[in-house]
Structure formats: C-alpha cells, structure tokens
Structure 1
C-alpha cells in the first residue's frame, strides 16, 4: 500500500488531469513507443503505481524497472496530489526511461484504492489490454527477474480446477538487518483467527523460512502480480478496489473477493523485491489520525462484507477478545478514531447493498475461504504427491556426497512442482530452519556417536514420516545401512527407493559390527525397497552379479560456479594454479594419509591443501598431520564459496578413494576444469574416463609420479583439465539427474 494519505477521510477529489509523458525509444531491453500508425504500444504487462510524496524513492524505483525482464510493459503512475515535487521528478525520470510511462496527476488525494483503480482503468482502456497487472509501490524495488519468476510460477501451477489469479514474491525491508540478516517484509498474506490479515514473516530475520512455492490467502498491494482476467472478474461496477477503503486493507479485501470467485493466490519465493515500508502496526501511535481512522474503519468493513457462519468456529473467540481490546484502546488512547464508528453508521444503507452484492457473486462455498483463518499456506499443487528424503545429515549441504546430492536434487524437484521434505539432523542443521530453497525441512535429534548417528536418526525420521507426513507417497532413502528401517514406511503406503552408494562393507573405518550391518543391509537392499538406486555401472554390476538384483543407475552431477581469485587463496597463502587440492573425508578408505606420505617424494615448493575432516577419526587424523611435510596445509572442512574458490584455482586435484561408486568430489573437480589425479579403481576410471591421470594408491612412487606429471608440465595439466570439463558437461549434469529422479518418483507414486 501507499504512504499515509494527507486528505481527510471521505474527501472528494477533483477531476483528474491526465498527462501522457513522452515515451522513450526502445532498445533490446525495452519496448518500442508503439506500432506504426500511432496506435497504443502492444504490452503484456501494465505496472500500476500510486504515489503520494514519493519523490525520494523514484530514482531507485526507475533504476529497478530499467533492469526488469519479462514481457514488454507500460508504467502507469497515479499521483495523489503530492506536494514534494513527485510529479516533476516523475516527468524527469519518464523522459529518460526506456519504456512507456503515463502519469495521471490528480487534484486531490483518493488514497491507494482510488489511485490504483484509476491506474487500472487506464491500463484496460486501450484496444490492446495487458495480460498482467503488477501493483507496485514506488518504495518497492523488484529484482530483474521478479516478473519473470511470478509469471512462470503462475503459468506452471494454474489449472482449470485451481486457476491462479495473483502471484506475489518475497519482499525484504530496505536497509534493515536483524541478527546480521535481511529482515522479511512480506512472504504473502495470511489471516489470523482474530480477523487480522498479516504479512507472513514480517519483521523476522531471514533464515530461509517461507522458501516453498505455495498457495496463500493473498498478496500485499506493494508488489503483487495479477492476471487481468482475475481483476476484471473480481471487480464490482468496474472498480477493482473498494474506493471506501481509501488506504489500508484494500488489498486484503480484494483478495477475499478473488478467493470467493475461485481464484488462487500463489507465493513464489524465488521472486524477490526490496520494500521500504513506512507504516507498521507497531508504529500505530506514531501514525496520523487519518491513517488510524482508515485502518479501524476498514477492519469493520472487511468483516462486514466477508464474515459468515462458516468461519465462526475458527474465529469467534479470538475475534471477540480482540474487538474488546480495540474498543478499549480507542476509548482510552485513540479517541480520534471514534469517527470511524460514525462513518460506518452514516453509510450503513450503501454498505448493506454492497455487502449483498459481494455475497451474491460468490462462486465457491464459504468454507473454502474460512479455511484460511489460522492457516499460513496450502500446497501449490495438492495433487502432486509429497516426496521424502531420509538418511542424510540434511541440507544446506556442508558435509559430503549424499548431502551434496540432496542439495542439488531437492530444490530442482521443488521448482518443478513436487512437494519435497528432507529430514535433517539437529547437530548439523539449525533447528529453527524450516525450509531451504523451496524444500521443507524436518530437523530431528540423534545420537552423536559413530555407530548411532545414522541409524537412530533414520529410525526417528521413519517414525515421524509414518505418523505425520501427510500426502507422502514416495521416499528416497540414502545409505544402504538404512534398509532395515524401510518397513516402517509401509503403513503409510510410502514406496521407497534406496540409494546404496558404494560397497560399504569394504570401508576400513568400520569395525566388524559395522561391516556385519552393511553385509546384511546389502542383502536387504535387494529385498525391501521398491527400487534400488546405484550411482555407477560398477556398483550396479556388483548387485546384479551377486544378488541378481537389477538397479536404477543414476549418476551425480556438477554445476560449476567458478570463483577465481577468491579471498580464501590469500587466507591460506596460495597462488592461482600453484597448489594441489585434496577434498574428501579423512577416513582410511579415502587414503588421505597415503597422499600426505607420498607428497614427501614430490619436488618443488607447491603446497598440497588437504580439505576435509571426519567426526570419529581423531587419532587417525592426528597421526597424519604429525607426519606431514611442511608444504601440506590442513584448513579443515571448507564449503560454499570458499570451496568453489579453491576448486577454481588449483593446478590439479587428487582423488585417492578406493571404495564407493561415483565420488562427488571427483565429479566437481572435473566440472571446474581441474586436472584430476585419480586412484586407478574401476568406479573412478568409469567417472574420469580418458581425462584422468591414474596412479596406484598403494604404490607411493606411482602417486608421487602423478603429482610430478602436473607439476612438471602445467600446460599439459591444463589440457587434461579442459578434457575433464568437457566430460563432466556431457555426463554429469544435475538437470539431467533431476529428470531421471523425476521419472523414478513418477513410477513409484503411480503404483
């Protein structure tokens, strides 16, 4: 909504003076002025803005619109008699804009409702009407892809049964931070049981919550995209907003009418904008009497028009308590707002007639609207089954291969409309985090011991899924040792795919109990899941030969995002293309100790950077570090941008793993164009192909020779790196991996 009005409530505005400012010529990023013959420009989007003393915000506003991608658009600005030079500033910016601008300067203040109605009227007045209308405040500055993402979401999720009439994005406050994070302004609109409409997440530090595309009750008028057909359908007597609302709550009232006509409102978290909101409920005592008058009056109008018997069970008690509090507050602290009761009484006959008209136009049962009270959101596509992902430490990923895979896979599936839930461990993921990149997170405790961590957490996850995961019909369970827990999902009729990774029973880190568990689990992995998933032909062949069990082979992927010259190089005293990089868990079967030992035989002064750690290998790691050459550096675990920075500038990476299937660290190193020095083991050779420089990890001289290959001839190493990058691009693409998993989940959920 717009800034507070200056005109007294109910004041009549003079006749508008309409001024069409010059339309700047277009380039590749801007629409042309219009078609030959002087007709109106053909645009797919009308951006409608209402201003009142917004001159200070206009430079940011026009800068944001200049980068906006998507359909060609026309900006229509209605000014409510500003006194700070807003109209003059609009004229200056419009002359320089690369898109058509129309300014309608009113002689009086009609509020946000009247102003937006006037803008929409202008948008619909031409022969070529826009498909979309974006209601956008002057202090709301969308990201370049804001409209693109909103439209894509609307088109992807609309249906005949649930047509999408509006989409809103993720708004954060301008220049405000809390706990070192941006502050959320609005993530869609919700309804409380006390008949308040609230902006979801308002005033919360942005921890990644509200990250799922979902249906919400409504969207703030500050930055919501509407389908023109929906606005025209919801309009009464040709007016989209109720002029009586003037300012505040008018967007909520429109959303009630959209819902009552069967239109759905979506929240799209990937569409982001900054909003310099001025008026907040906690600042009520600082607001002008006119603002508080409209706020109180409109609360009663909202209930009078849209309240019914269907919502009473949800709202009666909470609303009664709140109403008593409001009356007491007005009598004791805000007597200027008593005029709202007089206004309602004077206009009661007209309001009664409008109420009758609104209710006569309802197309859906009253209970369909009543369900929104006390409910934050509904699934964007309730017909799409929920997918569960269990057995890993969770996301955001900062540990190893399974977490990397789920970090890449789950958000991609969520973007395609799947409802995805990932189970996470409480010592690994912040308990406050409820969603991440559009994926729902369930954070549960576990035992932080070597042998208890995975099984205890998977046991609790399966029990939680059985008791609470409504709508779940398929689950991807990672780690073969978790096979024993799959029957716990059967009561919910959740079909499972079990990802077995490598041949775990061969890992040296396990004692005899661990090897026994994995030996039994390997057999159960062929009996209990609906589908056994492997990530390498070598592993698939093992299951086929030993157990006569066919598996679905799906590789890992890589999505290179190079960061050359990242500050981590300076932090570790490294120079680009003048260091070797090892990345893996420090466990015996990954042979970090042999890599460190062999490096003593390598000439020159290039550092070897050993990135990794392991939670239950303290003595093993201490012994390795104690015997290390001075050129070897141990920065610990490195994730995110730091990890990408190291991958982007290494001379070569070394991969000494000997157990498992496709190793994510090897695939990532190839994707970043590194020369890869690889232990000559079947799964590794399957991954690296002719791009690898191979060695025998048990032969110290062979490993040292691989290092010398890259150190002695850097151009040749770079040639191998380019070959590796080409292979990764062809064979290891996360989008292709997501395609394969999507086919897998479709087959599971259809059975």
Structure 2
C-alpha cells in the first residue's frame, strides 16, 4: 500500500477553496486500490473535524489538527503540526516509502529538519507551491518577505516540485536553478457537467429577479474581493465602456474595507450597470450564472492555474483575461486579453459586445476543447495516481 500524506489544505469535507476542492476530488475520484490517503484537517474546518480526532471520508483517513489563533502565523503552525502528526503516523504504521505532499509553501525555514525525518523513514517530500503568495497585496510587507523566503526553503529541500501551471514550473526552474529542482507539471481540474438548473427553476428565477439582471445580458466577475485580483481596473474600465449590459460581481464584500476604498475611488454606485451579487454557495446556481453570462472578466494575476478561470472556460462563452503568463498558458487563443493600461479593457469590452453569434460559438467551442483536453478532474486524478504509484 502506498501511503500519501496531504498537508496544507483546510481539510475535507471541503469548504470552498482551491486546495480543498482538489483534495475532495482526488480522494472522491480515487481509482487505484493501492493508494491510501491521509489528509490533515483544521479542527475548525467542519463538524466532523470538531468532533473527531481521526475519521474516514472518501476512503481517506482524516486527522484533525488544533490550530492556535495567532494571525498570519496560524497557517504556519497548522502545517508544522500536521507534518509532525503525519511523520509520527507513518512511523507508527511502518509505512513503506510514504509520500508527504505539502500544498502551499508556508514552512520553508523549518523544512530542513523535517525532510531529514522523512528521508530517514524512506519517504519522499513533494511540494505544490501554488502561485506567488509573496505578491499578494493583502499581506503586510514583512509577511510577504517571509512567504518568499519560505518558498525558497520549500523548493530547496523538495524531492519534487509539482506545478499546476507551466509558467509556475518555468519560474521555479529560473528562480531556483542553483538548487537544480526536480519539477513536474500537473494541472488543476474543473467540473464540466452543465448546471442541473434551468430558467424555470424557482432558485434561478428568484436570484435573477432579486438582482435585476437578464440571462446573456451581463459581464461576470467571480473571485475573492482583494486588490491583486484587479477589481479597481475592471470596475473603472467597465464604467468607461459603452456596453449596455450589466457587470455582475459575485464576491463577499461584507465588512470589507476594500469595498469602501473602491466606492470612494471609482464612484461605481452612480453606475446602474454595476451590481454586486454577494456570494453564491449553491454550486448548480453558480454554474447556471456562469453559463448564462455574456462574458466573464478575469483579473487574477498572482496565482498559478486559477480555479475560477477553468470554471469560466468550461461554462462561459467568452472570456476577457488580464494578460499574464498564467492565463495565456491555460486559455491560449480562446480569450480576449487585456492589460491594465487606461482604456484597454474598456475597448476590449466594446469589442466583445460586437461579437457575432458565430464568433461566440467558435470561441466557446475552443475554450471547452482546452478544458476537455487538459483540465478534467478525471485526467488530473490519473496523472496523480501515476505520480504516486
């Protein structure tokens, strides 16, 4: 039996999040009978974690970790405690050649010590560095500096760096070439099934009525409401555009200082086209909203392969993406790209509004083909099982 210890997600059953969804899909879709997953879960993640130290879910062993409330250092403490538990468990069960797969690069300064313990067990340490956490504006400068130092330590000690985007793999090879890192590319996945809801469902009718929007008559943004996702540029440029359609933003702005800052800097409340739709946790409804958007606008620029981008390529007919390597690596020629220069996105929106039905259909088919070829969960699970096997 190949024992795989997964550390760094908040755990499963999944609350919404990229790593959590990945672990949920990986364990639920398991095909190999020769793999046993052990997954760290924060004690506060779900009721199951709160009530049990160890429990089974999706055939995986889930181990609950208590995390002190110490601000940004909380995630560091969680990963260290989870890794300590995993190493002890591998020893206790005498796991043969266990694999420790750490999601996110948060504990670099401590990894040297733990890698020695992993190698003493005959084990292997894998890291998925995600995107450029050290570029996220939400972190104060000292925290961003720590994330960069930590990334370096995680890569330096890794037996293998698993990158979910080819541009991240290039970055790791360029930035840390002195360590001669061993890297591989395995993408993130996305669901491809259409929404189970239709226009006549009360859930759909109520939501669209409440938000005062019509199908195929809105541009859509979905994502965390943080500066590095370029909300200011997207809102300001949409206000400059000639579009008669709405801009619907699905995000959580409750008690968000950034929302007030944007309100002051853009005055978006004076533009009736701009509509904040709150969060939508109902996944069939969110899928329906994506499928019936005229176009999706994507401003994420510091991640690797962003889950929201994959979802939009698989469901929305036209995508307007900020022009960074991560996004081009995924969408290729199945999107309109924009830069943050004044007027550029506004012009792209005006251009999109002029697309014919034929152009929209061609673009949609191209995007869906990219997803089918590279980004289905089924194919991602196959690649991981080959890697772990």
TM-score, normalised by the number of residues in structure 1? 0.45
Match of 1:590 in 2: 229
Given the superposition, is the C-alpha separation of residues 719 and 599 from structure 1 closer, same or farther in structure 2, using an over 3 Å criterion?
A: same
Match of 1:467 in 2: 88
Q: Aligned with 1:703: secondary structure? A: helix
Match of 1:622 in 2: 260
- Conserved? CA contact 1:462–1:485, under 8 Å: no
Structure 1: unaligned runs, 5 residues or longer: 1-383, 747-751
- Conserved? CA contact 2:2–2:388, under 8 Å: no
Match of 2:219 in 1: 580
Match of 1:267 in 2: none
Given the superposition, is the C-alpha separation of residues 385 and 625 from structure 1 closer, same or farther in structure 2, using an over 3 Å criterion?
A: farther
Q: Aligned with 1:561: secondary structure? A: coil
- Conserved? CA contact 2:253–2:278, under 8 Å: no
Match of 1:541 in 2: 170
- Conserved? CA contact 1:415–1:438, under 8 Å: no
- Conserved? CA contact 1:647–1:674, under 8 Å: no
Match of 2:193 among 561, 568, 580: 561
| 1:402 is the counterpart of 2:19 | yes
Deviation at 1:694? 0.6
Distance in 2 between residues matched to 1:736 and 1:610, nearest whole Å = 31
Match of 2:10 among 375, 393, 401: 393
| 1:452 is the counterpart of 2:73 | yes
Distance in 2 between residues matched to 1:443 and 1:495, nearest whole Å = 22
Given the superposition, is the C-alpha separation of residues 583 and 417 from structure 1 closer, same or farther in structure 2, using an over 3 Å criterion?
A: farther
TM-score, normalised by the number of residues in structure 2? 0.83
Match of 1:483 in 2: 108
Q: Aligned with 2:174: secondary structure? A: helix
Deviation at 1:599? 1.9
Q: Aligned with 1:481: secondary structure? A: coil
Given the superposition, is the C-alpha separation of residues 705 and 410 from structure 1 closer, same or farther in structure 2, using an over 3 Å criterion?
A: farther
Given the superposition, is the C-alpha separation of residues 659 and 464 from structure 1 closer, same or farther in structure 2, using an over 3 Å criterion?
A: same
Given the superposition, is the C-alpha separation of residues 570 and 608 from structure 1 closer, same or farther in structure 2, using an over 3 Å criterion?
A: farther
Match of 2:276 among 615, 621, 634: 634
Match of 1:713 in 2: 355
Deviation at 1:519? 1.7
Given the superposition, is the C-alpha separation of residues 590 and 618 from structure 1 closer, same or farther in structure 2, using an over 3 Å criterion?
A: same
Q: Aligned with 2:107: secondary structure? A: helix
- Equivalences for residues 100-249 of structure 1 within 5 A: none
| 1:739 is the counterpart of 2:382 | yes
Given the superposition, is the C-alpha separation of residues 601 and 551 from structure 1 closer, same or farther in structure 2, using an over 3 Å criterion?
A: same
Given the superposition, is the C-alpha separation of residues 419 and 608 from structure 1 closer, same or farther in structure 2, using an over 3 Å criterion?
A: same
Distance in 2 between residues matched to 1:409 and 1:652, nearest whole Å = 30
The one-character-per-residue Cα deviations of 1:490-509 (angstroms, maximum 9, x if unpaired) are 53634221001122222222
Deviation at 1:606? 2.6
Match of 2:36 among 396, 399, 419: 419
Given the superposition, is the C-alpha separation of residues 580 and 445 from structure 1 closer, same or farther in structure 2, using an over 3 Å criterion?
A: farther
Q: Aligned with 1:527: secondary structure? A: helix
Q: Aligned with 2:332: secondary structure? A: helix
Given the superposition, is the C-alpha separation of residues 461 and 593 from structure 1 closer, same or farther in structure 2, using an over 3 Å criterion?
A: same
Distance in 2 between residues matched to 1:667 and 1:444, nearest whole Å = 31
Given the superposition, is the C-alpha separation of residues 484 and 695 from structure 1 closer, same or farther in structure 2, using an over 3 Å criterion?
A: same
Distance in 1 between residues matched to 2:380 and 2:273, nearest whole Å = 38
Aligned residues: 361
Q: Which has the larger radius of gyration?
A: 1
Structure 1, 633-642 or 732-741: larger mean CA deviation: 633-642
Give the superposed CA RMSD.
Answer: 2.6
Deviation at 1:572? 3.8
Given the superposition, is the C-alpha separation of residues 707 and 448 from structure 1 closer, same or farther in structure 2, using an over 3 Å criterion?
A: farther
- Conserved? CA contact 2:243–2:350, under 8 Å: no
Deviation at 1:398? 3.5
Q: Aligned with 1:720: secondary structure? A: helix
Distance in 2 between residues matched to 1:604 and 1:584, nearest whole Å = 22
Q: Aligned with 1:525: secondary structure? A: helix
Distance in 2 between residues matched to 1:435 and 1:700, nearest whole Å = 53
Distance in 1 between residues matched to 2:249 and 2:229, nearest whole Å = 12
| 1:658 is the counterpart of 2:274 | no
Distance in 2 between residues matched to 1:412 and 1:424, nearest whole Å = 19
Given the superposition, is the C-alpha separation of residues 685 and 419 from structure 1 closer, same or farther in structure 2, using an over 3 Å criterion?
A: same
Distance in 2 between residues matched to 1:608 and 1:453, nearest whole Å = 36
- Conserved? CA contact 2:79–2:106, under 8 Å: no
The one-character-per-residue Cα deviations of 1:248-304 (angstroms, maximum 9, x if unpaired) are xxxxxxxxxxxxxxxxxxxxxxxxxxxxxxxxxxxxxxxxxxxxxxxxxxxxxxxxx
Distance in 2 between residues matched to 1:634 and 1:435, nearest whole Å = 39
Question: Which structure carries more relative contact order (alpha carbon 8 Å, separation 6+)?
Answer: 2
Match of 1:510 among 139, 154, 158: 139
- Conserved? CA contact 1:667–1:732, under 8 Å: yes
- Conserved? CA contact 2:293–2:316, under 8 Å: no
Match of 1:695 in 2: 338
- Conserved? CA contact 2:222–2:308, under 8 Å: yes
Match of 1:668 in 2: 311
